[in-house]
C-alpha cells in the first residue's frame, strides 16, 4: 500500500484501476504469507477452540483470561472452565444440567445444577474444591445461583425462588429476608463491596429492581414507577444499570442508571423507539443496543461524558453490543453488506471492525459470528461455526492449533456416503499428531491421511449409515503436545 501511494504521489496520474490492482496484490501476498490486514489501533488475534455445541448461557471471562460457560451437547447442558491452557468439564450435582452464571477473578464459578432428584440447586465451583451445593438442606425447595463477586460472595434465590440469599465460605447461606411489600426477591448481580441488585414482585403486579446492603436492607430503587425493571450490572460505587418498561403499552425497554444521589435516571432511547443495556463496566461504561420501528438495530455505547451514541454496523441493517471493557473496547455482532452476522470489536479510535479480518493464522473455513464478552486485556469470547472460541491478542507467544468447522451435509439418505472434512492450522508449524473420526452410530476411526498446503492442514473421511436417525459426527484433532480439540456437526439420516 505504501509503495502504491508513493508512486501515485510522484506521477500524479496513475490510473485508478492500476492502483486498485496493486493494492489487491499487496493484500493477497500478505494473506498468503499468513499475515493479517493491518488495522490501526487493533492487534491481530490468535484463536483458541473452547468447545463445540450450542451456547446455553452467555460465557464469562475474568481478568486473567479464564472462561466459564455452558454448552448444549447431545441434548445435555454441561458447564465448562478454561483455565488459560485447557478446558475441563466442571461436573454436576448429580443431574444432567448445569448452568454457569458467574465467574470471578479467582476462577470461582456460580450457577445452578440439577441434582440426582431432578431439583435445581445453586452451586459454587473452584478447581481446588470442585462443585459445592450451597443449598444442601433437605426440604428447602429449589435454589438458583446467579452471580459471584471477587470476594467469593454468591447471590441468588432459594426455597423455590421465594427468598433472597447471600452466601460466602465464612458465613454459609444467609437468608436476607422478605417484607410484605416484596414478594419472591431474587439476587441477580452484585459488586465487590457487597451491594446486591435483583428483582422482586410488588403488589402482585409490578416486577421491580431492588438494591440490598447490610446497612439499608431491601430497598425498591425504581423511583420512576416502572411496570417492569431488571438489573444488568452494578458499578464499583454501588450504581445499578438495567432496563425498564415505563408502561404496559410502551414501545419497549428503556435503559436506566440508578445512583444513591440521583435515584433512577432514564438514559433515553437515542433516535430509536427502544434501547437496552447488555453490559456495564465497574466505571459505568454501558454497552447495548437501540431498536427502530422498521426492525433495524444499532449497537450502543453510553458514558457520562459522551452520552448515548450509535456504533454503526459492518454494512448491514443490524448490530448489537454485548460486552465492554475498561479500555472502552466494545464487542458484539453486526450484519455485513451480504446480510451475514459477524463478530465485531469497536473502539473510539478505530470504529467497528470485523474480527474475522483480524485473525492470525486461522483456518480459512472459520467464521466468527458473535463476540459476547471481553476483559481488560482485550481477550474476547466469541461464537463461531466451529463452536465457542477465545481470541487472544497476538503477542508472539507460542500457541496450539486452531480447528475450523466440521464440514458435512446436514442431511443424507441411508446408504449414501457421508463425506466430512475438517481444516486446521498449527500455531507452532510443527504439525498435528492425528485426527480421529466418530460417526455417532458406534463406529469410529483415525484419518488415514492429513494433507497440508500453504500452512493449512486438512483431513477428510466418508461413512455410510444403515439406520435412519439423528447422529453427531465428531472430529478430534490432537497436536504433537497432546492437546485435544473437538468439533462436531449433527446429521439427519433419512430413509431410502
Please state, in angstroms and rounded to a whole number, the distance separating the CA atoms of residues 446 and 314.
41
Asked which of 85-94, 210-219, 451-460 is least confident by mean pLDDT, the reply is 451-460
Q: What is the pLDDT of residue 378?
A: 97
Domain ranges (residues) in the chain: 2-32, 45-396, 403-494
Q: What is the pLDDT of residue 449?
A: 84
Q: Give the DSSP letter string of 178-192.
A: --TT-EEEEEEEE-T
Is the pLDDT at 428 greater than 60, yes or no? no
pLDDT (average), residues 116-135: 93
Q: CATH number for 45-396: choose from 3.40.50.2000, 3.30.70.360, 2.130.10.150, 3.30.470.20.
A: 2.130.10.150
pLDDT (average), residues 68-89: 94
pLDDT (average), residues 294-321: 97
Please state, in angstroms and rounded to a whole number, the distance separating the CA atoms of residues 85 and 186.
35
Please state, in angstroms and rounded to a whole number, the distance separating the CA atoms of residues 70 and 74.
13
Higher pLDDT, 177 or 376: 376
Asked which of 84-88, 199-203, 312-316 is least confident by mean pLDDT, the reply is 199-203
Higher pLDDT, 347 or 251: 347
CATH number listed for the domain at residues 403-494: 2.60.40.10
Q: What is the pLDDT of residue 88?
A: 96
Higher pLDDT, 457 or 20: 457
Higher pLDDT, 126 or 361: 126
Please state, in angstroms and rounded to a whole number, the distance separating the CA atoms of residues 330 and 31.
26
pTM of the model: 0.88
Sign of CA dihedral 44, 339, 287, 302: positive
pLDDT per position as a tens digit, 314-359: 999 999 999 999 999 999 999 999 999 999 999 999 999 999 999 9
Pairing of strands 94-103, 109-115: antiparallel
pLDDT interval class at 155 (50, 70, 90): very high
The torsion angles phi and psi of 5, rounded to 5 degrees, stand at -65, -45
Q: What is the pLDDT of residue 318?
A: 97
- Conformational region of residue 225, where left means phi above 0, alpha means psi within -120 to 50, and beta covers everything else: left
Q: What is the pLDDT of residue 161?
A: 64
Amino acid at each position: 500500500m505504501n509503495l502504491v501511494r508513493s508512486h501515485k504521489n510522484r506521477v500524479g496520474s496513475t490510473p485508478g484501476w492500476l492502483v486498485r490492482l496493486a493494492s489487491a496484490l499487496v493484500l493477497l501476498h500478505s494473506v498468503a504469507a499468513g499475515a493479517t490486514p493491518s488495522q490501526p489501533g487493533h492487534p491481530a488475534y490468535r484463536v483458541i477452540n473452547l468447545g463445540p455445541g450450542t451456547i446455553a448461557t452467555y460465557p464469562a471471562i475474568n481478568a486473567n483470561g479464564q472462561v466459564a460457560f455452558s454448552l448444549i451437547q447431545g441434548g445435555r447442558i454441561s458447564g465448562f472452565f478454561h483455565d488459560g491452557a485447557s478446558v475441563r468439564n466442571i461436573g454436576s450435582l448429580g443431574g444432567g444440567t448445569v448452568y454457569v452464571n458467574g465467574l470471578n477473578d479467582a476462577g470461582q464459578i456460580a450457577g445452578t445444577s440439577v441434582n440426582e432428584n431432578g431439583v435445581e440447586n445453586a452451586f459454587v465451583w473452584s478447581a481446588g474444591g470442585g462443585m459445592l451445593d450451597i443449598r444442601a438442606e433437605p426440604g428447602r425447595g429449589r435454589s438458583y445461583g446467579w452471580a459471584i463477586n471477587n470476594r467469593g460472595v454468591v447471590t441468588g434465590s432459594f426455597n423455590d425462588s421465594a427468598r433472597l440469599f447471600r452466601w460466602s465460605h465464612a458465613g454459609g447461606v444467609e437468608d436476607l429476608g422478605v417484607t410484605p411489600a416484596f414478594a419472591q426477591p431474587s439476587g441477580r448481580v452484585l459488586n465487590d463491596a457487597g451491594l446486591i441488585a435483583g428483582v422482586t414482585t410488588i403488589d402482585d403486579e409490578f416486577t421491580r429492581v431492588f438494591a440490598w446492603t447490610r446497612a439499608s436492607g431491601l430497598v425498591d430503587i425504581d423511583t420512576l414507577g416502572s411496570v417492569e425493571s431488571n438489573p444488568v450490572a452494578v458499578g464499583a460505587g454501588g450504581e445499578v444499570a438495567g432496563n425498564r418498561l415505563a408502561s404496559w403499552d410502551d414501545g419497549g425497554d428503556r435503559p436506566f442508571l440508578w445512583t444513591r444521589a440521583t435515584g433512577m435516571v432514564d438514559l433515553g432511547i437515542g433516535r430509536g423507539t427502544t434501547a437496552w443495556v447488555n453490559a456495564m463496566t465497574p466505571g459505568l461504561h454501558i454497552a447495548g443496543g437501540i431498536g427502530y420501528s422498521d426492525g433495524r438495530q444499532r449497537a450502543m455505547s453510553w458514558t457520562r461524558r459522551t452520552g448515548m451514541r450509535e456504533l454503526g454496523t459492518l454494512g448491514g441493517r443490524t448490530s448489537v453490543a454485548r460486552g465492554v471493557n475498561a479500555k472502552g473496547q466494545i464487542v458484539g455482532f453486526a450484519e455485513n453488506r451480504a446480510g451475514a452476522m459477524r463478530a465485531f470489536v469497536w473502539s473510539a479510535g478505530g470504529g467497528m471492525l470485523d474480527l474475522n479480518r483480524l485473525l492470525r493464522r486461522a483456518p480459512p473455513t472459520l467464521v466468527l459470528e458473535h463476540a459476547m464478552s471481553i476483559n481488560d486485556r482485550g481477550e474476547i469470547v466469541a461464537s463461531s461455526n466451529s463452536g465457542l472460541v477465545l481470541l487472544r491478542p497476538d503477542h508472539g507467544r507460542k500457541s496450539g492449533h486452531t480447528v475450523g468447522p466440521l464440514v458435512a451435509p446436514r442431511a443424507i439418505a441411508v446408504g449414501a456416503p457421508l463425506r466430512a472434512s475438517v481444516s486446521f492450522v498449527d500455531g507452532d508449524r510443527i504439525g498435528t499428531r492425528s485426527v480421529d473420526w466418530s460417526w455417532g452410530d458406534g463406529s469410529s476411526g483415525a484419518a488415514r491421511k492429513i494433507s497440508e498446503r500453504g500452512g493449512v492442514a486438512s483431513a477428510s473421511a466418508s461413512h455410510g449409515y444403515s439406520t435412519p436417525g439423528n447422529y453427531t459426527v465428531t472430529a478430534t484433532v490432537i497436536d504433537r503436545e497432546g492437546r485435544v480439540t473437538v468439533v462436531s456437526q449433527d446429521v439427519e439420516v433419512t430413509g431410502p
